[in-house]
């Protein structure tokens, strides 16, 4: 059941990305081009997502547990550290340069455009490099 629910949520997300045009990297990069061909539609998509999320959290968190899990898995940390800030900056710069975010790139794989496959390959490589760096740091920390 969890797999089916995950598939359904992913399908709805992918359809939303496609309908909103966010699978088109030019639409995203034009949002960041405030001195040129600025396209504010990304702000409306993000604003709509924030409204739905705000309402959804208010309704869902009234429950004692989610429907398909024994407990909610909410973040326990609320502080801003260098790792979070650096990761956010890398994400934003990559999104602005490539025009894809990870969530939007996966549905865009269905377009079969080569730049989407290059982005997703670079994304996977970046994840693997980050995991290797974290693993080495953990080994160094435990040896000290």
Q: What angle do CA 134, 118, 37 make, to 5 degrees?
A: 105
Average pLDDT over every residue of 43-69: 93
Q: What pLDDT score was predicted for residue 97?
A: 86
How far separated are the first and last CA of the chain, in Å rounded?
Answer: 45
71-81: pLDDT as tens digits: 999 888 889 99
Average pLDDT over every residue of 28-36: 88
- Is residue 128 exposed (0-12), middle (13-18) or buried (19+ Cβ within 10 Å)? exposed
The overall pTM is greater than 0.85: no
Q: What CA–CA distance (Å, rounded) separates 140 from 115?
A: 37
Write out the DSSP string of the chain: -HHHHHHHHHHHHHHHHHHHTTT-HHHHHHHH-TTSS--THHHHHHHHHHHHHHHHHHHHTTSSS-TTSSS----------HHHHHHHHHHHHHHHHHS--HHHHHHHGGGT-HHHHHHHHHHHHHHHHHHHHHHHHHHHHHH-
> For residue 24, is pLDDT > 90?
no
Q: What CA–CA distance (Å, rounded) separates 139 from 21?
A: 43
Mean pLDDT, the chain, as a whole number?
A: 90
> For residue 90, is pLDDT > 90?
no
Average pLDDT over every residue of 5-24: 88
Q: Which residue has the tokens 């968190």?
A: 61
> For residue 47, is pLDDT > 80?
yes
112-128: pLDDT as tens digits: 999 999 999 999 998 99
> For residue 56, is pLDDT > 90?
yes
| Cα→Cα distances 74→57, 61, 71, 95, Å | 11, 10, 9, 25
**Residue 48's pLDDT band (cuts 50, 70, 90):** very high
> For residue 26, is pLDDT > 90?
no
> For residue 144, is pLDDT > 80?
no
């Amino acid at each position: 059941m969890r797999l089916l629910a995950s598939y359904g949520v992913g399908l709805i997300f992918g359809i939303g990305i496609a309908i909103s045009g966010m699978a088109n990297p030019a639409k995203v990069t034009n949002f960041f081009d405030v001195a040129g061909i600025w396209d504010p539609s990304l702000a409306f998509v993000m604003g709509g997502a924030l409204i739905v999320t705000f309402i959804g959290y208010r309704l869902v968190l009234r429950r004692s547990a989610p429907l398909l899990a024994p407990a909610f898995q909410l973040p326990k940390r609320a502080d801003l550290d260098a790792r979070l800030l650096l990761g956010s900056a890398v994400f934003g710069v990559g999104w602005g340069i490539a025009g894809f975010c990870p969530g939007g790139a996966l549905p865009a794989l269905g377009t079969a455009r080569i730049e989407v496959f290059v982005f997703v390959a670079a994304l996977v490589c970046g994840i693997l490099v980050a995991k290797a760096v974290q693993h080495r740091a953990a080994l160094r920390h435990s040896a000290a």
